[in-house]
Amino acid sequence: MQMTGAQIIIECLIEQGVDTVFGFPGGAVLPLYDALYQNQNRIRHILTSHEQGASHAADGYARSTGKVGVCIATSGPGATNLVTGIATAYMDSVPIVAFTGNVAVPLLGKDSFQEVDITGITMPITKHNFIVKDVGDLAETVRTAFKIAQEGRPGPVLIDVPKDVTVYTADFSPQSPEVLKPRTERLSEKSMEQALQLIKHAQRPMCYIGGGVIRAKASDELSQFLENIDSPACTSLMGVGAVSSLSPRFTGLVGMHGTKVSNMSVSACDLLVVIGARFSDRVVSKASAFAKNAKIIHIDVDPAEIDKNIKTYCHVIGDLKVVLTELNHRIAKPMEHTEWMEQVAEYKKRYPIRVDSESARSKEILKALQSVLPEGFFAVTEVGQHQMWAAQFLKHLQPGHFLTSGGLGTMGYGTGAAIGAQVAHPDARVVNIAGDGSFRMNCNELATIARYKLPVIILLMNNQTLGMVRQWQTLFFDRRYSETNLDTPIDWMKLAEAYGVKGMRISKTDDPKPILRAALDLGQAVVIDCEIPVDDKVYPMVAPGASIDEMLGVEEVGE
C-alpha cells in the first residue's frame, strides 16, 4: 500500500514493538509529528523540554527495559542537541535509535536554514548512521537500524531523514521484526578449552564484571559461573547490579573508587576472568601494575575490545549468555578455593569503606533512602560524588536497576534518564540521586515530569559546590578552588514548586528517614533539597597514575 515517509516511519516503529518515543518538534519533522498525532492511540510521544532530555530519556527507557529507546529531533540545533545523549549511549553500549529531520534533499549541502551534517557529526559516536534520500529506502533503513542497535554489542544508531522524504510516498509492506540470534561466529573451541584449562588450574581466581553482563541478560549464568569456579567478583561502575550486593562473593567496585578489597584481590589473584568489561582507565589506572600476578581471560562479544587497553593471556569472543552457559556446562564438578575465599573474607573485615569527611552524612542519607524504598526500585544518578556514593552505599540487587553515565560521565544525564525509566515502569519507584552541579544543567526537565505526572523522586545532594572537582582540588591542587563554588542562593524548593512539583528539604541536622518516607508516601514527583557538608569526600580513591592497590582514604579496622 502507498504511504508517506512519515507514515512509514510510524508503521516501522510499531512493527518493531515501540510503544513510546521521546522528542521535541520542529520544522523539518513536522510531517512526522503530524503522523504521530494521527497515531497517538498506537504510539505514545513524550514531549521533553530539550532534545538532550529526549536522548537521555530514550537511554533510560532502554537501560531499564532492555528494549530500544527512540528519540526524535528536528534539523540543525535540534539534531546537535542530541549529540551528548547519543555519545552517552555509545560509551555505555545502550541501544537507541535517534531520528533527526533535515532540509529537503535539493537543499542539502547548501548551508540552508537549520541544516547540519548530523551524520558526519555523529559518525564517531554511533554504531552506524544513515541519511535517507529516497523514500523507497526508508522502511528497510529503519528495520536495519533497529537490528544494528540491538545485535552484538548494543549501541546507538541515527537516521537522518530530509523533510521531503517524509512527504513523498512509497509502497509499504509490513514485516515481522527479525529475530536476532546471539553473536557466536567468533566463538572457537580452542578459546573455550584454553579458558577452561586456565580456570581449572587457578588457585586464586577473581572475576571482574562489566556492563556487558547486564546488556546480555546473563546475570543468572554469571551467578552460576561464580559458584562453579568458587570465585569472588568485583564490578565496574557499569556492572553494578550484575552481581547482587548481598552476595558473599561480591567485593564491590574496582578501580579508582573501588573498594580496597576488590583492588587488593585483583592484585593478589593468579587468574583474572574479565566478563563484559573494557578495562577502562578508571578501573585499570596504572596499566603496567594492573593484575600483575595474574593471567587474564577476557570474555566479550566485541572483538575490538580484545587487547585494546590491557594485553590478555586468553580471550573468548561471543555472546556472554552463550559463553557462560557453555562454560558452566563444561565444568563437571564445582571447584573449591577455600583458602582464597577466606583470604578475601579477611580483606572485607579489615578494609570496610571509610567515610572520611566532616560527617558520614552522605552514607546516612543513602542508607535511610534504601530503608524506605520498595523492592524493585530504580536508582538513577547524575555524575559526581553522589554517583559514587550511590554505587557504594545502596544495595543493588537486580541487573538494570542502576542507571548511570559511566563512560562519558555526563552531568545532566539523570533527570532525563529517570523520566525514561519511569515512563517504562509506571508502577515502580524511580529515584534520581543528583548533585546540585549536575541538576542545574537539565533541571528544565521538571516541566516534563510535571506535564506527565511522573512520580520521580529527585534526591538533590546539595553541597553548593562541584564536589568531585573540589575533591581533586583539595587533594592535588593545594585547595585552590577555582570556579567550583556554587554558592548562588538558589531555593530549590521554590524552583520545584514553580514547575508544579513538590519541594522538600532535609537539613544537615534532620533525621532523613521520616522525610524520605513522607516524600515516597505522596506518590508524586518530589525534589528533596538535601544539605550535605561541602567537604564530604568519596573514598577510597586511587591517585592519578598510581597502582590500584595504592589507595587514599583507607584505614584498617583497629587502627
Q: Residue 254 in contact with residue 235, Cβ under 8 Å?
A: yes
The CATH number covering residue 228 comes to 3.40.50.1220
Establish if 317 belongs to a structural domain.
yes
Crossing angle between the packed helical segments 467-476 and 385-393, to the nearest 10 degrees: 100
Task: Return d(Cα 91, Cα 11) in angstroms, integer.
Answer: 30
Percent of the chain with pLDDT over 70: 98
Q: Does residue 346 carry a catalytic annotation? A: no
Active-site choice (163, 260, 321, 537): 163
Q: Tell me the per-residue pLDDT of 156-209, one tens digit each, with 9 for 90 and over.
A: 999 999 999 999 999 999 999 999 999 999 999 999 999 999 999 999 999 999
Active-site choice (192, 441, 468, 504): 468
Establish if 545 belongs to a structural domain.
no
Q: Tell me the per-residue pLDDT of 232-267, one tens digit each, with 9 for 90 and over.
A: 999 999 999 999 999 999 999 999 999 999 999 999
* Least confident among 37-46, 139-148, 484-493, 520-529: 484-493
Active-site choice (38, 40, 113, 175): 113
132-142 mean pLDDT: 98
Residue 25 and residue 155 in one domain: yes
Residue 322 and residue 365 in one domain: no
Q: Tell me the per-residue pLDDT of 536-549, one tens digit each, with 9 for 90 and over.
A: 999 999 998 899 98
Residue 222 and residue 308 in one domain: yes
Cite the DSSP H helix spans in 71-202: 77-80, 83-91, 118-122, 138-150, 163-167, 189-201
Residue 439 and residue 475 in one domain: yes
Beta strand residue intervals within 276-391, DSSP E: 295-300, 314-317, 378-381
Active-site choice (114, 343, 398, 524): 114
Query: Distance of CA 231 to CAs 142, 266, 329, Å?
Result: 43, 12, 17
Question: Of the residues 350, 377, 402, which one is the last residue of a structural domain?
Answer: 350
Q: Does residue 341 carry a catalytic annotation? A: no
Establish if 559 belongs to a structural domain.
no
Q: Tell me the per-residue pLDDT of 441-491, one tens digit each, with 9 for 90 and over.
A: 999 999 999 999 999 999 999 999 999 999 999 999 999 999 999 988 899
Residue 134 and residue 71 in one domain: yes
Q: What is the pLDDT of residue 468?
A: 95
Q: What is the pLDDT of residue 463?
A: 95
Q: Does residue 163 carry a catalytic annotation? A: yes
Q: How far apart are the first and last CA of the chain?
A: 77
Element containing residue 552 per DSSP (H, E)? strand 551-552
CB neighbourhood size of 141 (10 A): 18
Domain region containing 227: 189-350
Establish if 166 belongs to a structural domain.
yes
Q: Tell me the per-residue pLDDT of 491-507, one tens digit each, with 9 for 90 and over.
A: 999 999 999 999 999 99
Residue 228 and residue 326 in one domain: yes
Establish if 445 belongs to a structural domain.
yes
432-436 mean pLDDT: 97
CA angle at residue 309 from 308 to 311, to 5 degrees? 80
Banded model confidence at residue 35, pLDDT cuts 50, 70, 90: very high
User: Residue 358: is its pLDDT beyond 60?
Assistant: no
Q: Residue 401 in contact with residue 63, Cβ under 8 Å?
A: no
Establish if 197 belongs to a structural domain.
yes
Query: Distance of CA 549 to CAs 76, 202, 235, 350, 546, Å?
Result: 48, 21, 16, 14, 8
Note the residue count of the chain: 559
Residue 478 and residue 509 in one domain: yes
Residue 317: which residues within 8 A CB-CB, separation 6 or more? Answer: 186, 187, 191, 300, 301, 302, 303, 306
Q: Residue 499 in contact with residue 450, Cβ under 8 Å?
A: yes
Q: What is the pLDDT of residue 209?
A: 98
Question: Of the residues 140, 171, 202, which one is the last residue of a structural domain?
Answer: 171
Banded model confidence at residue 356, pLDDT cuts 50, 70, 90: low
Q: Show the cell assigned to 14.
A: 510499531
Residue 128 and residue 210 in one domain: no
Active-site choice (16, 24, 51, 192): 51
Of 215, 258, 180, the C-alpha closest to 16 is: 180
Dihedrals phi, psi of 225, to nearest 5 degrees = -65, -45
| 76 bridge partner residues | none
Residue 314 and residue 249 in one domain: yes
Establish if 554 belongs to a structural domain.
no
112-122 mean pLDDT: 97
Of 113, 130, 109, 39, the C-alpha closest to 74 is: 113
Residue 390: which residues within 8 A CB-CB, separation 6 or more? Answer: 366, 379, 381, 402, 404, 433
Question: Of the residues 323, 350, 377, which one is the last residue of a structural domain?
Answer: 350
**Total domains present in the chain:** 3
Q: What is the DSSP letter of 374?
A: P
Q: Is the dihedral of CA 189, 191, 194, 200 positive or negative?
A: negative
User: Residue 93: is its pLDDT beyond 60?
Assistant: yes
Please give the full DSSP string across 128-165, using - where no structure is assigned: EEEE--SGGGHHHHHHHHHHHHHSSS---EEEEEEHHH
Residue 319 and residue 254 in one domain: yes
| Pairing assessment for the beta strands 169-171 and 2-4 based on DSSP bridges | antiparallel
The CATH number covering residue 516 comes to 3.40.50.970
Q: What is the pLDDT of residue 487?
A: 86
Task: Return d(Cα 35, Cα 11) in angstroms, integer.
Answer: 10
Q: Tell me the per-residue pLDDT of 8-25, one tens digit each, with 9 for 90 and over.
A: 999 999 999 999 999 999
Q: Tell me the per-residue pLDDT of 275-310, one tens digit each, with 9 for 90 and over.
A: 999 999 999 999 999 999 999 999 999 999 999 999
Establish if 548 belongs to a structural domain.
no
Q: How big is the chain by its Cα radius of gyration, in Å?
A: 24
Residue 132 and residue 216 in one domain: no
Task: Return d(Cα 313, Cα 142) in angstroms, integer.
Answer: 40
Q: Residue 216 in contact with residue 321, Cβ under 8 Å?
A: yes
Crossing angle between the packed helical segments 385-393 and 361-372, to the nearest 10 degrees: 50
Residue 86 and residue 153 in one domain: yes
Q: What is the pLDDT of residue 354?
A: 67
